[in-house]
Amino acid sequence: MNTTNHDPLQIACPHCNAINRVPAARLAQSPSCGRCHDALFIGVPNALNSATFDAHANRSQIPLLVDFWASWCGPCLQMAPEFTKAAAQLEPYMRLGKVDTEAEPALASRFNIRSIPTMVLIQDGREIARQSGAMPASSIVQWARR
């Protein structure tokens, strides 16, 4: 994030997807949504779909780490609790989201997902990194912070 501690960041709410302005210095102070009043950071991945994806990927100013997965995929199911553990460690400086490739084939196609699980790191609407294969939480956190 290229910002000072007082510059407001735009953060998408994981509940109502409203865009909130939050000073960078207040990210770790449990800010809440101005519209729905729920917490902006919940420490778990946010289920994303075609209606909510762009608010988090394009309009929110913190990086978005997306796990593209499917319910029939064994490695995806194995990695799911690890991705949740990673969310607890990476928020509030990064949002974690999950996209079910079976329910959202257009999003999977948009990111040219060929194997799952695949994690895509997005900043300012652009893909900046990609990693395929199941990983433990510690490796997810280490990879995402690079």
Active site residues: 73, 76
Burial class of 97 by CB neighbour count within 10 A (0 to 12, 13 to 18, 19+): buried
CB of 97 within 8 A of CB of 48? yes
CA end-to-end span of the chain: 13
